[in-house]
Amino acid sequence: MEETSQLIQPLICTRAMSTLKTVVPRNTAHRRVDSASDTSRHFQTEGLLSYRQVFLTSLPLFFADLAALVVCYLVGTVVTTLILQTPIYYHGLWNNMTALCLCHFLLGSVLGLFPASGMNPVRELRNQITSISGSFLVVIALNGLVGVVTTNEVNTAMLAFPLVVVVGPSSRFTARRAFAKCHWWGERVIILGNGRQGKLVYQFLERMPQRGLKPLGVVDECANEHLMSNLDGSLEFLGVTSELVSVCRKNDCHWVIAAVGDKSEEEVRRIIAEGSLIPNLVVLNSNMMMPTLWVNSFEAAGFTGIHVRDRMLVPFDRMFKRIVDVGLAALLLVVTVPLFLILLLWAQKVNSGPVFYCHHRIGRQGKRFGVWKFTTMVSDAPTVLREYLESNPAARREWETFHKLKNDPRVIAGYGTFLRRASLDELPQLWNVLKGEMSLVGPRPVYTQDEVQMYGDLYPLYLRVRPGLTGLWQVSGRNNTTFADKVCLDTYYVMNWSLWLDYFILLRTIRTVLFREGSC
């Protein structure tokens, strides 16, 4: 009460602030130099180089978005014209496409889409769709303000928008994959910290250059023999922490990721102080597994925290997911009727056993249910597997690690191999989706006690959701990953679930099926 009587509607709690240790930036008065000095000129040049790199990284992404918008809008215009038998007004078409692209550039810039370096792909997808949606609404509103919105324009927008929602993210993803190989694309980043966390971050960025952050090396507290022995061949030691700013200047680097999960509070404060002149400083100060996608910083009484939101507790999101499951599953069942008939005839020709196969799995809240699949294995599959593993030690090790075999002797030659590689053997599970036993997107259902034990303490997370026809595991390597990787991916999915994550996985599933990524 004493404090609130002194501060009218206080923004912070001054008593709490007085107990905190303040991080004092290193650019203090005694270190500042005259604007005409060499250091000042270096800062100005460094800023120009930074903008140039941002521009070069943004350019391919903008043109990818531009191409998707223009192509989809042209397709919508042509289809509308053919259906309504009306002429194309080229002047209005040009104005609408120009306004659409300009609005997307402005909204996308505000949402961080250009260049979106280091941004999580799911968050990038959300921001891109948000920008595209806003651009369409703005163009329609502007047409209404300056004139009359014609039926053609409304119909064109209604056709073009669903197209660009699919084509736009795919176009941007393709651009990232293509230009990630170019040395001039992307922004440089230095990893601060050579502990386990730092090494994992470095290796992740090395494997994912399409994120737009290209690691140069590591900086740590001291350059002793122990540190140098811990550095493997792929990591380059660039300097000590006290030289962080000079190392960044020397390498024209404007990103630093501080992996400080194993460091003390005093060390973290010193690192933040040293990085005060770095334009982009990211501090990873926790080794605790927690949601990462939809979290925001939260300040209470001067204390910094993380606001974690569980989207599974939002009734609308859960209801919308179920509506999409039923709608898409019903549509896919109708569309794939001819394919079902072809596979039925083929199955009867090559296999004397049943066409469909039902296996009991564990679903949401621990309920068991029957998962339907096309039969792709021989009738005596358990015996064949046991004999094969007994006579093949390498295959036994593969089975124990992945719970799958790349060269599975149980699979029916030709028919079974084709269905499994094309992921068509799981089409009957659309019926499980309609019944509410499964979802289109979710973790793959588990069925053995060994698999349950491998989840360990994370098993309750699996039980929170319906198993999925596709999921994060299927689009992240599938059979090229271990079961331990699958557990981690399932955990990440449940902890970070949202409608946007589901949409991202559905888009990636299309690519995975078309290119047979990670299939047997």
Per-residue buried b or exposed e for 22-52, using 16+ beta carbons within 10 Å of the residue's own CB: eeeeeeeeeeeeeeeeeeeeeeeebeeebee
Q: Which residues contact 153 (CB under 8 A, 6 or more apart)?
A: 92, 96, 140, 143
> Which of 368, 509, 356 lies closest to 449, judged by CA?
368
> Which domains does the chain carry?
54-179 (no CATH), 186-308 (3.40.50.720), 315-376+411-515 (no CATH)
Structure tokens at 345: 């005839």
CA–CA separation, 488 vs 495, rounded Å? 11
pLDDT of residue 9: 53
Alpha-carbon distance of 309 to 235, in angstroms, equals 36
Could you tell me the mean pLDDT of each successive run of 10 residues in the chain, 520 residues long? 49 56 53 42 52 91 97 95 87 92 97 94 96 96 84 91 96 96 93 85 91 92 56 73 88 90 78 83 80 86 84 92 96 94 90 86 93 88 84 84 79 86 90 96 87 88 94 82 86 93 94 73
Is 385 in a helix, a strand, or coil? Answer: helix
CB count in 10 Å sphere of residue 299: 11
pLDDT of residue 39: 41
